[in-house]
Copies of this chain bind each other. A is one copy, B any other.
C-alpha cells in the first residue's frame, strides 16, 4: 500500500468504501447460505474476496456512468448502488427483483444506477461497455463506461476487437480485468500466454496493474483514470490482482485438485481487502473498532431483513412469461 495515496483519502470516502465492501461480503454470505439451505434456485458465483475491485472503481464513478458486469456480478451490482431487497428478490426469482425475477444471479443489475447488466457469456459485455462509451462520446455526456471482466475473458477475441476500436476512436472506457488467478478450475497461467497488460498496450492503450486487495490503491487509480477518460484521454486498461474466496460457484466445494487450501488461507488471512481497510481506518484514527462493528451490525441486519423479505415476496404471475420479449407487445404469445 502506498502511503501517499492513502493519506489523500479522506475518512468519509474510506468509510463509505468500507461499508460497501462489507455489504458485498454480507450479501454473498447470505446468498451462499440460501444456496446451502436449498432456498435459492440454481447456482451462483460469489464475489467474496474481490470487494476492493468493484468498490474501489465504482466509488470513483457517478450514478450516470455505466458499468457492465459478469457472471460474478453481485459485487458490481452492490458497488454501483443497488439495494439488498431488490437484489435478493432477483436471486430468488421474485417479481420485485431488479429484473422481475427473469434474470436471476447471472443477469442481476440495477439498471437505474447505470449497470447495463451482468452477463453469463464470458466476455460478452465487452462490446456493450464500449458501445456505452461511444454513446458518451457522441452525445458528449462526459459519462465514463467501465467494463468488468475476468482473467478468463481475456481469451475471448471480442476483447481485442473492441479495444482496437476504443483506441482508434479514443473512447471513454476503462477495461477492468479482475485477475483472480483462475477461470473456473484452471490457473490463469495455463490459459493466458505472455502478458495481459502488454496486450492492451499493443493497441496503444495505457495499461496498469494494481493490487486488487488494496481498495485505496484501486480507488486512487480509478479516480485518476476516470477523470482522464472524462477529458477524452481514454481508453484505459487495468489489471486488478485479486482472489475469489469461494469455489468457482457455490457448488464448487471440493476444489483441492486445482487449488490448495493453504493458498486460500493465505489470501484470506493476509490480504483481505476489508481487514486491510479496517486496520487503516483504525490506525489512522478515522474510526474506532466499535464504530466499524456497528457498521457491520447494521449491514448484517439490513441483509437479514432483505433475505426475510425476499423469501416471502411473491413470484411473478405466470402471465409474465411472455411479457418483455418486445417493448411494444404486451404479451407476445397472446
Contact = CB atoms under 8 A, between A and B. Distances in A.
Interface of A: 155-161, 163-164, 167-168, 190-195, 198-199, 201-205
Copies of this chain, whole number:
2
Contact of A164 (B161, B164, B192, B201): B192
Contacts of A195: 202, 204
25 contacts: A155-B161, A155-B164, A156-B157, A156-B161, A157-B159, A157-B160, A157-B161, A160-B199, A163-B193, A164-B191, A164-B192, A164-B194, A167-B194, A168-B190, A168-B191, A193-B203, A193-B204, A193-B205, A194-B202, A194-B205, A198-B198, A198-B201, A198-B202, A199-B202, A201-B202
Nearest to A163: B193
A191 B160 CA distance: 12
Contacts of A191: 164, 168
A168 B193 contact: yes
A203 to B, nearest CB: 4
Contacts of A167: 193-194
Contacts of A198: 198, 201-202
Contacts of A201: 194, 198, 202
Contacts of A158: 157
A62 to B, nearest CB: 27
A25 to B, nearest CB: 33
A160 B158 CA distance: 9
Contacts of A163: 193
Contacts of A204: 193-195
A165 to B, nearest CB: 8
A199 B205 CA distance: 12
Given A168-B190, A168-B193, A198-B201, 10 more contacts: A155-B161, A156-B161, A157-B159, A160-B160, A163-B193, A164-B191, A194-B203, A194-B204, A198-B198, A198-B202
Nearest to A158: B157
A201 B199 CA distance: 8
A191 to B, nearest CB: 7
A264 to B, nearest CB: 25
Nearest to A235: B193
A159 to B, nearest CB: 7
A199 B164 CA distance: 11
Nearest to A190: B168
Nearest to A189: B168
A188 to B, nearest CB: 11
Interface centre among A159, A163, A199 (most CB of B within 10 A): A199
Nearest to A157: B157
Nearest to A164: B193
Interface centre among A159, A164, A191, A194 (most CB of B within 10 A): A194
A185 to B, nearest CB: 16
A207 B159 CA distance: 21
